[in-house]
Homo-oligomer: A and B are copies of this chain.
Amino acid sequence: MSGKPIAPGGTVGILGGGQLGRMLASAAAEMGLHTHIYCPDENAPAAEVAAQYTRAEYEDEAALTRFAESVDAVTYEFENVPAETARILSAHGIVRPGPLALATAQDRIVEKNFMQANGILTAPFADITDEASLRNAVENIGTPSVLKTRRFGYDGKGQAKIMAPEDAIAAWDEIGRAPAILEGFVSFEREISVIVARGENGETAAYDPVENIHKNHILDRTLAPAALPEAVAGEACAIAARIAAELDYVGVMGVEMFLLPEAGAEQRLLVNEIAPRVHNSGHWTMDACAVGQFEQHMRAVCGWPLGHPQRHSDAVMTNLIGDEADGWKKLAAEPGTAIHLYGKAEARPGRKMGHTTKLYPLGKRPPVTSS
């Protein structure tokens, strides 16, 4: 492709058929693009808004090859794309974001080392491979601290808190003695994130940083924008853009950060983790910006000019988890509120079923506390 964009009428393949794939496919359709969903799941929410759907395993080389050959580029909705899947697809065409982003985001140790190598602050961490390294790490980092599997963690899964040194082995047992990372507990003021896009030509565009409020380890609400001193907001966007540039990234990326309390902190931002894809904390952009994150990702993947990330409204995004989506009728009646439901057949506890975005005039978002 290099330089030649995928024009309207072209086709983008999307690995993964969940709500992110669905919103990517809908955004692509608005751009006059066709999409082809590839995923192993039956009843994939993304499939019904896409032109084509291949239901196959991520290890099915023949199906992957046919898929790659049917599209102009491949992207994905989740960071745990197996390396071998990415390799097969890359052999047949363009995969965006590229392999470096995937490898970095898939492994918490690689991710933290990447940050450290680029002078970006993180929580203190140590690589856990056996009981000795665990004991050693707990001694150095101290408690409370958090033990996390290096790979495949999300929404608080694959994590165990260590409150005292003698709990360390039990915590490791809890996460199945998988290769792990020990992270020092950071006493942060708030969690923020930046949704940044980077184009093929190296241009970047970051939406304003937002504040994220979790409930049961799952994102509950995103407040856009985060209430931040201008310098801190600018630094957050600069960090996100630097990460994107260092990864030679093409697409939209979510960068989660901890905001440290002002008192005593020389630098107030630590990077928690990156997601090499559209991100739940960017859903508000669909309704509060002329070009939302899903279209922005497709623009980057297709070599289009990036959309300007300015927002026309402030916003509060609220996830609808499990049976919360049953309240759709009441939610739909809220003035100034957009409701998005993902078309999932079954509302399991903890499952993201939809979200709402309530819009406010610029500067008029009510303060929402984390409590």
Binding site for B on A (CB under 8 A): 5, 7-9, 22, 26, 29-34, 48-51, 287, 290-291, 299, 304-305, 307-308, 310, 312-313, 325, 328-329, 332-333, 335-343, 345, 354, 357, 359, 361-362
Measured CA separation A334–B206 after assembly (Å): 17
Question: What are 26 A-B residue pairs whose CB atoms fall within 8 Å in the complex?
Answer: A8-B328, A8-B341, A8-B343, A9-B345, A22-B29, A26-B26, A26-B30, A29-B48, A30-B339, A31-B341, A32-B341, A32-B343, A32-B354, A290-B337, A290-B338, A290-B357, A291-B338, A305-B329, A305-B332, A305-B333, A308-B335, A312-B313, A312-B336, A312-B359, A312-B361, A361-B362
Measured CA separation A308–B287 after assembly (Å): 15
Q: Tell me how many chains of this kind the complex includes.
A: 2
Contact B34 A329 (CB under 8 A): no
Assess A332 versus B304: contact at CB under 8 Å? Given A8-B325, A31-B341, A49-B49: yes
Q: List residues of chain B with CB within 8 A of the CB of A354.
A: 32
Assess A336 versus B290: contact at CB under 8 Å? Given A26-B26, A304-B329, A312-B313: yes
Q: List residues of chain B with CB within 8 A of the CB of A7.
A: 328
Measured CA separation A223–B368 after assembly (Å): 36
Assess A299 versus B361: contact at CB under 8 Å? Given A50-B48, A338-B291: no
Measured CA separation A179–B74 after assembly (Å): 55
Contact B342 A32 (CB under 8 A): yes
Q: List residues of chain B with CB within 8 A of the CB of A340.
A: 30
Nearest B residue (CB) for A30: B340
Q: List residues of chain B with CB within 8 A of the CB of A325.
A: 8, 32
Q: A8-B325, A31-B339, A308-B335 are in contact. List 17 more A-B contacts (CB 8 A).
A: A5-B329, A8-B328, A29-B343, A30-B339, A32-B328, A33-B343, A34-B48, A287-B290, A290-B337, A290-B338, A290-B357, A304-B332, A305-B329, A305-B332, A312-B336, A312-B359, A313-B313
